Amino acid sequence: MESRRGMMNPWAEEESSSDLVAMRRIQRLSSHISPDVTAPPLPLVQAERCSSRSSKKLEVNGEALSLYMRGKHMDIQEKVFDFFNSRPDLQTPIEISKDDHRELCMNQLLGLVRDAGIRPFRYVADDPEKYFAIMEAVGSVDMSFGIKMGVQYSLWGGSVLNLGTKKHRDKYFDGIDNLDYTGCFAMTELHHGSNVQGLQTTATFDPLKDEFVIDTPNDGAIKWWIGNAAVHGKFATVFARLILPTHDSKGVSDMGVHAFIVPIRDMKTHQTLPGVEIQDCGHKVGLNGVDNGALRFRSVRIPRDNLLNRFGDVSRDGKYTSSLPTINKRFGATLGELVGGRVGLAYASVGVLKISATIAIRYSLLRQQFGPPKQPEVSILDYQSQQHKLMPMLASTYAYHFATVYLVEKYSEMKKTHDEQLVADVHALSAGLKSYVTSYTAKSLSVCREACGGHGYAAVNRFGSLRNDHDIFQTFEGDNTVLLQQVAADLLKRYKEKFQGGTLTATWSYLRESMNTYLSQPNPVTARWEGEDHLRDPKFQLDAFRYRTSRLLQNVAARLQKHSKTLGGFGAWNRCLNHLLTLAESHIESVILAKFIEAVKNCPDPSARAALKLACDLYALDRIWKDIGTYRNVDYVAPNKAKAIHKLTEYLSFQVRNVAKELVDAFELPDHVTRAPIAMQSDAYSQYTQVVGF
């Protein structure tokens, strides 16, 4: 298939020989895929944009930039890349059946642990930063493989570590680590996904036998979409309502949702155990290397010790004890310990964005189409439209990288200190970043596919599989719309505390100053400043982001108060829902920009810092321009300033294009990682033509 940009004149040079036609077509394809990349940028565009500014290309120390980006765990990632590059039998082919893909992913995980000697589970609790670095590398090999590893170690293993106590760790750690104890995380039910407190599966204590009886009371309570359940899992962490017998008129007491270890297959024969029914969820849109299944329990008995009892326990005589006084507090503590899944997905989503942006930008640098009369064709990345698609995306990729690195650091600190305020901070931040980043990556995958024209539609160039595999990132570990509401609710809580004189944590502390700024009128002088130095000043950029968030917060708080009088709390929230989602996104963008600015400032190499500053300015001004109506409506930005922001954004896109190769190369995703022939840095022509059989 050939893209519209690449179509030839249909009446030109008809050939009678089919062999000659094929040869000429290969020659044309060769010139498109492997052109002279030293050709100068599009002259007309360059002259127009650089008439009033220096057009000198920034020289970037790529090694220094890469070292700063990759950080302290680049060695373990290289070990993952090198191992799978040396094992063709563990590389995922383009065409593979569901069943074969599942077995391959299991073999990939076994190869990682038993052959490469990399033990991710050992880092889940003690060094989460290293664990997430391994997960990013593994996900670039095959996203199904990355998710399967996450199910085994983050979810099944993580639930044992985080919700259990010493007896559980002592019994299960080694088996989970070496993959003898493959397991599942059975939370979601057919009728309940986001509303975990509404789960219907029950675990009723039988004091006579000192056992819990696990039951699926109706079809709606069947555990659904459970990774590792259909084929490989031997255990499941089952979330169920803990039911205790009582001596009052009710006869039982519902203690809320707790987690239980339930064996589902025989350790020797791998046959399904009595009372457990397992069905296959079948072929999915993506991630078909993960064996999702459905679980039904019919009076399955487990020992009392199989209750993961960190936050609540049942004694031999059936008495319930907990250090937390209410069901809601126990539930919150339980889910709070599972926040690592969201942290991992946000981080992994940035990894997917890096791969897709790398493929699209490398292709756009190589691909040539049209040009001035009687001059060579030019790179399609020299077209303003292509820069508009890809350069803000490249800047955003860097922004999200530094934001999720910060999130991982905060999560690691939380796991070490167990500070209550830090737990709340990480919970809201992980919800916001997971939602925001995965939504952006999902949209960007389609943009990258389109930016590569017809060649982007070839399965071998990966956009289809990346898009399909990543799509569910917007849903599991918390639906994105639900997660943004959690962020908005937390902001409203902080807003209330602010006016009651309470303290604000680091992530939200800007609200105090920016809210005061919002409550005063915009400065009519600064609203008209349009100099480049001013627009590229981090203080102006961050103030603009935070002003918008404060304005949205003030307005939605007033609207909620107004509508709650007639609609009640739930009705008012629903009436303002779109406003609340916009508020949450605005806040997360403020956090992202703050972390990007901080990362630029901390970069030790001057040339790398200059390249990062270009990307940071483009990210900030592109976001301001996309929401320019908000700033114009309140005269925060005057018309002449808005025009200056637009012009500067276009210029910065051009400047980032000039260092796009260096910025992409700093991700250090070699050909055997991107695996897209159209993006090969060497010999792309022969790579791609071999795929189609020449």
Nearest partner of 15 among 28, 6, 2, judged by Cα? 28
Within 8 A by CB and 6+ apart from 387, the residues are 381, 653, 654, 656, 657
Q: Please report where in the chains the tokens 């916009």 appear, as a residue.
A: 582
Strand partners, 479: none
Dihedral class, residue 322 (left if φ above 0, else alpha if ψ from -120 to 50, else beta): beta
Helices (H), 474-509: 480-499
Q: What does the alpha-carbon distance between residue 411 and residue 426 come to, in Å, rounded to a whole number?
A: 6
Structure tokens at 304: 């009392």
Judge contact between 41 and 378, C-beta under 8 A. Answer: yes
Clarify whether 477 is annotated catalytic: yes
Q: What does the alpha-carbon distance between residue 220 and residue 604 come to, in Å, rounded to a whole number?
A: 56
Secondary structure letter of residue 488 according to DSSP: H
Strand partners, 582: none
Pairing of strands 276-280, 293-297: antiparallel
Judge contact between 65 and 660, C-beta under 8 A. Answer: no
Judge contact between 552 and 583, C-beta under 8 A. Answer: yes
Helix (H), strand (E) at residue 320: strand 320-321
Q: What does the alpha-carbon distance between residue 98 and residue 429 come to, in Å, rounded to a whole number?
A: 35
The residue from 136, 189, 477, 668 that is catalytic is 477
Q: What does the alpha-carbon distance between residue 336 and residue 334 come to, in Å, rounded to a whole number?
A: 5
- Full 3-state SS string of 388-447: HHHHHHHHHHHHHHHHHHHHHHHHHHHHHHCCHHHHHHHHHHHHHHHHHHHHHHHHHHHH
Within 8 A by CB and 6+ apart from 453, the residues are 2, 3, 4, 5, 6, 367
Q: What are the residue numbers of the active site?
A: 477
